[in-house]
Structure 1
Amino acid sequence: MMRWIAIISLISLSYGTITWTDKTPLPQPLAGSACAVINDTIYVIGGRDSQGNRYPTNYIYDPSTDSWSRRKDMPTPRAHIGAAVVNDKIYVIGGWVGSKASGVVEVYDPVMDNWQTCTPMPTPRYAYGIAVYNNRIYVFGGMNMGGQVFDVVEEYDPVTDSWSTKSPMPTQRMGPGCAVLKGRIYLFGGSTAIGSGATTICESYDPATDTWQSEPNMATRRYALAGFTYDNQIYALGGYDYWTYHTTVEVFDGNSWSYKSSMQHAPQSIAVALINNRVHVIGGWNNGALNYNEEGTIQIGVEEAAERIEVRVGPNPFHHQVAINLTGVGPLEIKIYDASGRLVRRLYQGVAPASISWDGRSDAGEPLPSGVYLLMIEGDGELRSEVLNLIR
């Protein structure tokens, strides 16, 4: 007798789902730019092109007119940088400058359209995490040109123009996502080593006590991703795991991560800006610098819960074959990912009802090793997952 072990509803609540549309592209392809929002205007500063050239450009985007213009360039061309807004001024910190990592700090005043140089960051680095809390700027991790990945945490006080060192991260990493939620700064994903080491690890920092704690990990292993906070939830999007560029958007509610949607494009090193319930994903890298400007609208209404598609999976764990039975009506797509987040099998694209099975093989027909795999089911704008245990 078949033992069915999972029932998954693909509709439940739509709150937080993102729908995407392309807007007027960035004037030039750029990856690793800094990004900031002041008065509903988006600033995209610096970045690199496909040839590795770094730029001082200061582009601004007006979502109300879907148009770009250019303001005064920053003094130092650089890439893989972050920006922080304090008192309506934009602080751009460190980065890849010339042939080295830099600690340079430059601040932009949009009203005066001018730049000033501040006290440099003590640890030169790029590809770090950055956040603002209580008008102080925190920089986490990153790397230098020698390939050293840091656990260093430094705090900048714009009032005194001074830096101080804080408790190091438990996990060294470069290219993490970073966001603030309920008085804590969360670091998620990133890479612990160059060329490998993309991780799902999530840790949070309490600026009030200068202490760290472990948090539930993301499902998708990736670095060079972006993060933002909306309505007391953290959104993680984009990134790369050294094999795959990811479109996946995961959401953290303070207790667990869940899938919400996928972006139209799959970049890493993106610039991300949030205005009300609309997020802009700008530029980035996917085998070259990009100029996409993708706007996502976060759904703020709640649909009435309803079961449109039901999925039953079994047996689980399985040795040779697992059956997947779909009931209801609606289009859907089913994919299988391995524990590293790599897509290994495009299993089904069609409509329910349907009865299919997975034989533990990849798209190339090769038997996959024993381990944990993730069954991803997408339909009606919703994503659901189920862990499968393959035992050879």
Structure 2
Amino acid sequence: LPAPRYAPATQLWRGRLHVMGGSKENRHTPGLEHWSLAVKNGKALEEKWQTETPIPRGGPHRACVVVDDRLYVIGGQEGDFMAKPGSPIFKCSRRHEVVYGDVYMLDDEMKWKALPPMPKPNSHIECAWVIVNNSIIIVGGTTEKHPVTKRMILVGEVFQFHPDSLKWLVIGKLPYRVKTTLAGFWDGWLYFTSGQRDRGPDNPAPRKVIGDMWRTKLSL
């Protein structure tokens, strides 16, 4: 890449690998830059990354999805933990984070268009999405911190976005809240596995890293 990035949105679209947003080297400062590179059969066709239109809002931990030849970037956050310089155990310090539900689409003119946001701010959803019947399904994530304790709050809903009508729906709930999970869809079943779950039904803060796999029949 032309510059280091932490957790940028990345996706293949129209024969090019697009990388946008993310955080800069300190993990905290949002990056707006957007680059692309022509690729084919796993190989780069160009020597340098091409500069594209910057994304309106930077930050990491977003879903980046192509549906019906349109590129969508969904959710994310501004800010993240920062490494403490010189720490022998690579310790990080907390910084102010802003989680958002913004949705942007890249159109035919390579311009970003803001679309209706998610039902709630949501981050840590990089791989928590699938495409079903030309709609985007997103599971779990993290939302705004608790106003008093400032602890991270995990998300337990299953969201659906219809690109045709630009409408969001909450279509279900997970067995527990979870962030940074992996979602899949096969033969009518919606799957999710791994990530970090909540502390219990009454405590949405993150605790245990999991290896469980769950599935449910999805009828849309």
Kept in 1, the 8 Å contact 2:182–2:192? The answer is: yes
2:219 partner amino acid: A
1:82 to 54, 63, 69: 63
Aligned to 2:217: 206
Higher relative contact order (CA 8 A, sep 6+): 1
2:142 partner amino acid: M
Distance 1:153 1:167 in 2: 5
Distance 1:195 1:29 in 2: 28
2:74 partner amino acid: I
TM-score w.r.t. structure 1 length? 0.44
Alignment of 1:89-168 (within 5 A): 89-97=70-78, 99-109=97-107, 111-128=108-125, 129-146=128-145, 147-168=152-173
Identity of aligned residues (%): 21
2:212 partner amino acid: I
Aligned to 1:49: 24
Number of equivalent positions: 183
Question: Alpha-carbon deviations, 1:248-291, whole Å to 9, x = none?
Answer: xxxxxxxxxxxxxxxxxxxxxxxxxxxxxxxxxxxxxxxxxxxx
What are the ranges of 5 or more consecutive residues in structure 2 without an aligned counterpart?
80-96, 146-151, 199-204
Kept in 2, the 8 Å contact 1:177–1:187? The answer is: yes
What are the ranges of 5 or more consecutive residues in structure 1 without an aligned counterpart?
1-25, 210-392
Alignment of 1:280-291 (within 5 A): none
Distance 1:41 1:183 in 2: 30
C-alpha displacement of 1:54? 1.1
1:112 partner amino acid: E
Give the alignment's Cα RMSD to 1 decimal. 1.9
Aligned to 2:45: 65
Q: Once superposed, which parts of structure 1, at least 4 consecutive aligned residues long, lie more than 6 Å away?
A: none
Distance 1:115 1:71 in 2: 11
Kept in 2, the 8 Å contact 1:31–1:80? The answer is: no
2:29 partner amino acid: N
TM-score w.r.t. structure 2 length? 0.76
C-alpha displacement of 1:28? 1.9
Question: Alpha-carbon deviations, 1:208-243, whole Å to 9, x = none?
Answer: 26xxxxxxxxxxxxxxxxxxxxxxxxxxxxxxxxxx
